[in-house]
Amino acid sequence: MPISQNPGLPRVWGHTVDDMTRCVHYHQPEDVIAIRFKCCDRYYPCHLCHAEAEDHEAHQWSVDERETPAILCGGCGSELPIKEYMAASRCPRCAIMFNERCALHYDLYFEVD
């Protein structure tokens, strides 16, 4: 069952294109995470999906909230704390590779120190 539709896992909102949280904007093999947006408590594959679906500005997670589980791995469905995700190049649970270029967009999701 797709992660975005699995009743045991959080719903992924936005324009997903497969069951690993890839979306119409980011769909390379390593684009396998969704981010829980602080402002609406919904998982989206990317900032563009959020902007298209919501009528509010995105709020970034503060540095003090880095222990918050806010990353959903599209490979295994694990929810990862922000700090753990930011320190990893692969999912610590299933070892699927994360897109290293996502770090270029951290400021859209997380307060950067």
Closest to 60 measured CA to CA, from 25, 23, 35 = 35
CA gap 22, 29 in Å, rounded: 8
- Residue pair 22/45 in contact (Cβ under 8 Å)? The answer is yes
Based on C-alpha coordinates, what's the Rg of the chain?
13
Average pLDDT over residues 70-83: 97
Tokens standing for residue 30: 């390593």
Number of compact structural domains in the chain: 1
Is 4 strand, coil or helix? Answer: helix
pLDDT at residue 88 greater than cutoff 90: yes
Say what the pLDDT of residue 60 is: 97
Q: According to the model, what pLDDT value does residue 1 have?
A: 39
Judged by average pLDDT, the poorest of 9-13, 35-39, 82-86, 91-95 is 9-13
> Which pLDDT band holds residue 7 (cuts at 50, 70, 90)?
low
Quick: pLDDT tens for 13-71.
999 999 999 999 999 999 999 999 999 999 999 999 999 999 999 999 999 999 999 99
- What single string gives the DSSP state of each residue in 23-66? BSS--STT--EEEEETTTTEEESSHHHHHHH-SS---PBPGGGT
- Structural domain boundaries enclosing 61: 3-109
Confidence check: pLDDT of 6 > 90: no
- pLDDT given at position 3: 55
